[in-house]
Chain A
């Protein structure tokens, strides 16, 4: 058990410090030690990312630190996630589509939200950036999305969210809609009929959790 705890702590610290090579080594050790891959992911890698997110909220970490932490998390996931999938025990908490809206090429925040939702057990379909608004509707319908996340980082692109909202509500009526990005705020989100607004990437993940009524 002591060795299990030690390896889980190593996974966590490697993500926290952005040590991707260390994360791979720790992940391999987890496999070799017979640690349940799901446990290694959640209590090691995701715990580390959660702590990185908390440090961001406290103003200790900034986006560069989150970027390298996410690289380390992905490096460890590359080893562990195939093992979870092969066990067939991976149950998804919901289907999410996420993208930066039409005309908008800023996707750092969107990528962080995507990562946290993925490791939190959601099936995340990333539409990328500069996404045609019709695609949010089409993919929402095709995938029967539970959550549609749209980000806009420019005052010039945010209006795309307002324009697509009636169509999304009509054609994907069961999906929750979460929006985020610097020019947006809660008042605008309420006025446009979104179900949730994330003030930051980390905040968006918490809002997604609340909307989906489950822990991420």
Chain B
């Protein structure tokens, strides 16, 4: 197994600059798992930025992977617009969930207001605390600003939003517009506080999955808004985007191609999108993925190693660059020896 000749920061920096690193970087995509391997409550990743920063650093040191700590949660949006959330303190809870959606009726949706002070909206105080830690430690400042449809689903309620797409499309557009306004306000604040250079805009696009919506619905309800938000963020000077294109999105890929993602984008994909397809569709972007998180949870170590090897062999020489990742958030209780197989695969098969 090769010895590293670069630090994690050097390795990721090389990929971001389009240069060749010593080996394929690895970001397992673990949040709750970090807390558990550090002996801390899973919820700390979501409700305690200082603890979250610490356990993510500890996990990176333990496993030897290349990602830096970040703050994000899949059900963002609802809390930010005035709804209620519950942190994952209960058994099997893996993430923050919205317990009351702020635009659950037509009246609420019509009267929905864009929060005035974004620094007090929902998880923003926690996200900003994490961002300040990242800045202090010379790490990328991650700014969670999407996806537009996931956030809107969190504001309205996902099932209700999907029904309104047909019954009351104007209401969905109204909320999408307000979410887009909010996301740009968030970006304006981040740029004001941190400057544009250290910022990496993070978009987690799960509700856009073709298991839920059609490419036509993506074109109508997602494309105009995500394009608007991303362009606004780029116009503020933010150069780097990280987009997690979650789940089955093969029919959306041609539309994702139309979305501006700054000067340098990391596009991560789940198992459902073949890495080869991703490479063809996004030749200039860094491609990340896509070991099956269920395999990391339930498979044998050698099975995980084998799938990671396949990913590396397929994508290692992608001109835009490649990062080995899980296809989505690894289950918190995944065996650590399985998580380690990704780092092992990079060292055994990922050398340049």
Partner-B contacts on A (CB < 8 A): 18, 59, 62-65, 67-68, 71, 101-108, 111, 130, 133, 154-160, 182-185, 187-188, 191, 200
B69 within 8 A of A: no
What is the CA–CA distance of A182 and B88 in the complex, to the nearest angstrom?
Answer: 20
> What are 17 A-to-B residue pairs whose CB atoms are below 8 Å?
A64-B162, A64-B213, A68-B167, A102-B93, A103-B91, A104-B92, A108-B158, A108-B159, A133-B92, A154-B94, A154-B329, A156-B93, A158-B294, A160-B92, A183-B293, A188-B294, A188-B298
The reply to whether A106 and B158 form a contact with Cβ atoms under 8 Å apart is yes
Closest to B95 in A: A156
The reply to whether B158 and A191 form a contact with Cβ atoms under 8 Å apart is no
Closest to B272 in A: A182
Q: If A159-B331, A182-B247 touch, does A108 touch B162 (CB 8 Å cutoff)?
A: yes
What is the CA–CA distance of A84 and B150 in the complex, to the nearest angstrom?
Answer: 41
Q: Least Cβ distance of B139 to chain A in Å?
A: 25
Q: If A64-B213, A188-B298 touch, does A156 touch B332 (CB 8 Å cutoff)?
A: yes
20 A-B pairs besides A155-B329, A184-B294, A188-B294 with CB distance below 8 A are: A59-B251, A62-B217, A63-B213, A64-B166, A64-B213, A64-B217, A67-B162, A67-B166, A68-B167, A130-B97, A155-B294, A155-B328, A156-B329, A156-B331, A157-B92, A158-B294, A160-B91, A160-B92, A182-B247, A183-B293
B214 within 8 A of A: yes
Main secondary structure of the interface of A (DSSP, over half): loop
The reply to whether B166 and A105 form a contact with Cβ atoms under 8 Å apart is no
Within 8 Å CB of B281, what residues of A?
none
CB-contact partner of A102 in B92, B166, B328, B329, under 8 A: B92
Within 8 Å CB of A157, what residues of B?
92-94
What is the CA–CA distance of A160 and B95 in the complex, to the nearest angstrom?
Answer: 14
Q: Least Cβ distance of B299 to chain A in Å?
A: 9
Q: Least Cβ distance of A204 to chain B in Å?
A: 13
B231 within 8 A of A: no
Q: Least Cβ distance of A103 to chain B in Å?
A: 4
Within 8 Å CB of B297, what residues of A?
155, 158-159
What is the CA–CA distance of A104 and B75 in the complex, to the nearest angstrom?
Answer: 12
The reply to whether A103 and B162 form a contact with Cβ atoms under 8 Å apart is no
Q: Which interface class (under 10, 10 to 19, 20 to 34, 35 or more) fits B?
A: 35 or more
What is the CA–CA distance of A184 and B159 in the complex, to the nearest angstrom?
Answer: 21
CB-contact partner of B333 in A101, A159, A185, under 8 A: A159
Q: Which of B92, B97, B297 has most chain A Cβ within 10 Å? A: B92
Q: Annotate B78-94 by CB proximity to A: 1 below 8 A, 0 otherwise.
A: 00000000001011111
Within 8 Å CB of A18, what residues of B?
166-167
Within 8 Å CB of B293, what residues of A?
155, 183
The reply to whether B92 and A183 form a contact with Cβ atoms under 8 Å apart is no
B165 within 8 A of A: yes
The reply to whether B94 and A185 form a contact with Cβ atoms under 8 Å apart is no
Q: If A101-B92, A156-B332 touch, does A183 touch B213 (CB 8 Å cutoff)?
A: no
What is the CA–CA distance of A101 and B332 in the complex, to the nearest angstrom?
Answer: 16
Closest to B218 in A: A62
The reply to whether B97 and A200 form a contact with Cβ atoms under 8 Å apart is no
Within 8 Å CB of A64, what residues of B?
162-163, 165-166, 213, 217
Q: Which B residues, 196 to 245, have Cβ-Cβ distances below 8 Å to chain A?
A: 210-214, 217
The reply to whether A68 and B166 form a contact with Cβ atoms under 8 Å apart is yes
Within 8 Å CB of A63, what residues of B?
162, 211-213
The reply to whether A62 and B210 form a contact with Cβ atoms under 8 Å apart is yes
Within 8 Å CB of A156, what residues of B?
32, 88, 92-95, 329, 331-332
What is the CA–CA distance of A196 and B83 in the complex, to the nearest angstrom?
Answer: 37
Q: Least Cβ distance of B253 to chain A in Å?
A: 15
Q: Which of A133, A159, A187 has most chain B Cβ within 10 Å? A: A159
Closest to A102 in B: B92
B330 within 8 A of A: yes
